[in-house]
A and B are shown apart, each in its own frame.
Chain A
């Protein structure tokens, strides 16, 4: 008998709760091709829409002739800005307080801008139709270089803003200026620079790139004329926000809009915003009375929906001779393209870029960001990062290396010298953030010990000597990166989207048999929420994770949430889950006390049920409590066992990590080889180590791609030249390095389970590690800063410019 009684360890393991490498629930369907992605949605009578796009980066639209297109078999309608004006939808608001053309209204402002929407019986006919729409353009001079955008004679891009001297974020200095955002103490910072013993200054660019998930943006809109209801299936990272936006701009009652985000094939920030395709498909459905599908192709995805980065950061550090930083001054020129469609919390025109002081104890700092318009695609999404945090981390991590070089110090030593110390947490940064927790020295030293950092530096010194003797043509670089992220947007005191506070939510409903469903305001795009959210509940209330179904993405059933991006799901929704679970647990405790005939205070929670303190045999399992909740609750208590939590976080969370990249570069061809990459991440409490490791692998791979070649590039006349996976660097298994992962655990003190978020850390920390490795490799030849991306030809050019190649 006793042999069959499970041990505490066995009972705990049976829950598959937090800390367990639980295998994913989602994989059962995904490995069998039974996922349900948007393009898999087929509705009776469904039509297809496709865009006519502009070949010009800047041109006046003189005439749109759809007569031949309408003769194409299967083509039913051609929608233009004129059509949309009849429903007041030719323009739409952006999340950044700007407006954006849905279809070209008089002008086009970037190549591949949406000009007309052809609606047809199937996608083949729609494609035939777009090839028959004749658009007459009058080309205008394109503005490509952001540094020329505010020249006196720069062309006027946004005629709708002529005469408007104030934008959503304050005064505009020029007709192509969007905003200036300043943070920090200018006087104090200028003073620090005046008396600095050492300063560095460098213009550090983070090139334009693109999140490019493998599934593009797509939707199916279905308007029911009788009920007046609009159902939208779409690739939405934030379905509730989409519902509210659609309600506000289409003037439809919000209860009559049903937004469903089914399985999503990766997001990485690409699927946060609202795009013209969604509006056009919705209008087309309203006009035709039939469901309309819009599926973006890869060229459209890369060239029209949501670039990332494009920040040009002039960075200065003041320091003492012995390497103590005394001030940071950064000016950013931010290229936003034709419309400011940044997906940032509304009050943050440059996101959380003011995390740019990084992991270091800067006594003072000042930051100014100028956003400008150019003839490029709109966007500015957080590509696997929390709102411009990647840009900030790259800026400071590159600058710290430049300072180390100037001081002739080891970059790791310089960092150790300037880290915020463990006893300084919670730490108030010079640019206004309160870092929750960290132990940077421990993480850095662990990285250095595990990788044999000192030995690698020694090897590098030997290789450099050999290079100088002409014995090798290969140079070696060590890229150190120590990042601090800011994730979990965010507290209602400073974060909202279009006025909606950035809380998140969870509703848990336990069924009589001890099973349950959890519904969330978040939306997984591959993060494995169906698996991990159930693990939190399992640990919190003692019901096996397998018995909890997690449901996301249906706005009719899910509680309102702000969605999944910016590594906010675990910090915000993860907390909401724990809080909702604790409400369940509190009620369960009352039921157990009643059934066990003791006072609640005499009960203690024990893995999977409540036990009477001091009487271990008096125990009631959560499973039994669930049953009791439906038939024998204490007098006066409502039956049932469910709870909802809307969690407004008191603060952000601040994950951090120490990365090292070891790279060898052949100076004659510029070909590099990542010999080794080590990533130590501290994301606080670890919910599922298997999934964390997977997230880190994926984020590092994206960081590798970005740093080493992944670029959205325009030629000097505004043609985008990287529109397919041939030229937009998308590494395969062959190019992708091997990843070594490691961790420390410094829980967040304010988060209910101490977790911080991890999905984006590897991208934030990875990019500077790669770039620092390249720069470090060339530094002994005299390089201070080589701009990304570090593809082969640019590495060769660096070597040539430094005289290392004839």
Chain B
């Protein structure tokens, strides 16, 4: 099958590559761009481990072809740290609130939470749970992920973070 030339912006940098039309975006990111933070967990669009941000949308990159991302602006987990290399509010929140264990779902979870907070800067617990319902975590039981996102929201909003009482 003839290959197609694609160009897109990933984490602020223009990238290009030759892909088959059937090349899944997640494989383009992981194999061609060698950014392996985006993971594959279920392959049937349920787990969200492959979530990246495309043109302001959270997208499961295992269910989109690389050719469809032509010209788009993509952010992956590798683009989430602060410019000075320190952890961003969400990354810090996940660490401080123990929002991860094996770390496999974490990049997708953070990418989804990133868009959620852009759209809803002060979500309730229920809104967070609904907002991350396209991402499966096998380790944490989600409770600390919710706290991690609340922590990040507070930090981004410049307010003090208070853990909800048990």
Asked whether any CB of A lies within 8 Å of a CB of B in the complex, the reply is yes
Chain B residue contacts of A268, Cβ below 8 A? 138
A214 lies within 8 A of B87 (CB): no
Interface residues on B, range: 35 or more
Chain A residues within 8 Å of B39, by CB: 37, 39, 214-215, 265
CB distance from B65 to the nearest CB of A (A): 12
Contacts of A40 in B (CB 8 A): 30, 36
B68 interface residue (CB < 8 Å to A) = no
Contact A31 B139 (CB under 8 A): no
Any B CB within 8 A of the CB of A570? no
Q: A132 → chain B, closest Cβ, in Å?
A: 16
Residues of A contacting B121 with CB < 8 Å? none
Is B74 on the interface with A (CB-CB < 8 A)? no
- Asked if A151 is an interface residue, CB under 8 A from chain B, the answer is no
Residue from A28, A527, A732 in contact with B136 in the complex, judged by beta carbons closer than 8 Å: A732
Provide the bound-state CA to CA distance between A209 and B121, in Å. Answer: 39
With both chains docked as a complex, state the minimum distance between the C-beta of B144 and any C-beta of chain A, in angstroms.
Answer: 6
**A17-45 contacts to B (CB < 8 Å):** 23-24, 26-37, 39-40, 42
In the assembled complex, A736 has its CB within 8 A of some CB on chain B: yes
- Tell me whether B140 and A298 are in contact (CB under 8 A): no
A758-798 to B contact mask, C-beta < 8 Å, 1/0: 00000000000000000000000000000000000000000
Docked Cα-Cα span, A752 to B21, in Å, equals 60
CB-contact partner of A214 in B78, B137, B142, B166, under 8 A: B137
Q: Which of B53-61, B94-102, B154-162 contacts A (4 or more CB under 8 A)?
A: B94-102
B130 touches A734 (CB 8 A): yes
Q: Are A527 and B46 in contact (CB under 8 A)?
A: no
Judge whether B94 and A31 touch: CB under 8 Å.
yes
Question: What 0/1 readout, one digit per residue, does chain A (723-766) give for beta carbons within 8 Å of chain B?
Answer: 01110001011101011110000000000000000000000000
A698 CB contact (under 8 Å) in B35, B96, B101, B129: B101
CB-based nearest A residue for B85: A32
- A21 to chain B: closest residue by CB: B98
Question: A794 CA to B142 CA in the complex, in Å?
Answer: 26
Among A26, A123, A726, A741, which residue has its beta carbon within 8 angstroms of that of B103? Answer: A26
Among candidates B87, B103, B142, B143, residue contacting A263 with C-beta atoms closer than 8 Å: B103
Name B24's closest neighbour in chain A (CB-CB). A124
Whether B102 contacts A733 by the Cβ 8 Å rule is no
Tell me, rounded to whole Å, the shortest Cβ–Cβ distance linking A597 to chain B. Answer: 46
Residues of A within 8 A of B41 (CB): 214-216, 265, 298
Contact A214 B136, CB 8 Å, known A24-B98, A31-B94, A31-B100: yes
**Is the Cβ of A33 less than 8 Å from the Cβ of B37?**
yes
Q: Does B153 sit at the interface, judged by CB under 8 A?
A: no
Which residues does chain A contribute within 8 Å of B87, judged by CB atoms? 28, 31-32
User: Measured between alpha carbons, how far is A741 from B166 in the docked complex, in Å?
Assistant: 9
User: Which of A86-94, A499-507, A688-696 lies at the binding interface?
Assistant: A688-696
Q: Is B106 an interface residue (CB 8 A)?
A: yes
Main SS at interface, chain B? loop
* Complex partner residue of A725 from B47, B91, B145, CB under 8 angstroms: B47
Q: Which residue of B38, B44, B94 contacts A298 across the interface (Cβ within 8 Å)?
A: B44
Does A264 belong to the interface (CB within 8 Å)?
yes
Which A-chain residue is minimally distant from B137 (CB atoms)? A214
A452 CB to nearest chain B CB (Å): 15
A402-417 interface (Cβ within 8 A of B): none
Q: Which residues of B are found within 8 Å of A37, using beta-carbon distances?
A: 36, 39, 104
How many interface residues does A have (CB within 8 Å)? 58
Residues of B within 8 A of A28 (CB): 87, 95
Contact status B77-A32, CB under 8 Å: yes
Interface residues of B in 25-55 (CB under 8 A from A): 27, 30, 34-44, 46-47, 49
Please tell me if the beta carbons of B144 and A694 are within 8 angstroms of each other in the complex: yes
Q: Are A733 and B128 in contact (CB under 8 A)?
A: yes
Min CB–CB distance A766 → chain B (angstroms): 10
Do the beta carbons of B107 and A33 come within 8 Å of each other? Answer: yes
The distance in angstroms between the C-alpha atoms of A652 and B87, with both chains bound, is 41
Contact of A264 among B40, B96, B102, B106 (CB under 8 A): B102
Inter-subunit contact B138/A124 (CB<8 Å): no
Q: Is the CB of A733 within 8 A of B77?
A: no
Q: How far is B39's CA from A37's CA once the two chains are assembled, in angstroms?
A: 9
B135 at the interface (CB under 8 A from A): yes
Q: Which residue of B lies closest to A212 (CB)?
A: B138
Bitwise interface map of A from 662 to 697 toward B, beta carbon under 8 Å scored 1, else 0: 000000000000000000000000000011011101
A302 to B, closest residue via Cβ: B42
The reply to whether B102 and A213 form a contact with Cβ atoms under 8 Å apart is: yes
Known: A30-B106, A31-B87, A37-B39. Contact between A266 and B139, CB under 8 A? yes
Instruction: Give B residues with C-beta under 8 Å from A.
Output: 20, 22-23, 27, 30, 34-44, 46-47, 49, 76-78, 80-81, 87, 91-92, 94-96, 98, 100-107, 110, 128-130, 132-146, 166
* Residue contacts A-B, CB under 8 angstroms, 24 given: A23-B96, A30-B100, A31-B100, A31-B110, A32-B77, A32-B91, A33-B36, A35-B37, A37-B39, A37-B104, A212-B138, A214-B47, A214-B49, A214-B136, A265-B39, A526-B101, A527-B101, A695-B101, A701-B141, A732-B136, A733-B128, A734-B129, A734-B133, A740-B166
Ranked nearest first, the 9 interchain pairs of A and B with the lowest CB-CB distance are: A33-B37, A265-B104, A526-B102, A30-B103, A33-B77, A697-B141, A701-B141, A526-B101, A725-B46
Residues of A within 8 A of B (CB): 23-24, 26-37, 39-40, 42, 123-124, 212-216, 263-266, 268, 297-299, 525-528, 690-691, 693-695, 697-698, 700-702, 724-726, 730, 732-734, 736, 738-741
Given A39-B36, A214-B47, A265-B41, 5 further pairs, Cβ under 8 A: A24-B95, A298-B41, A298-B42, A732-B134, A733-B128
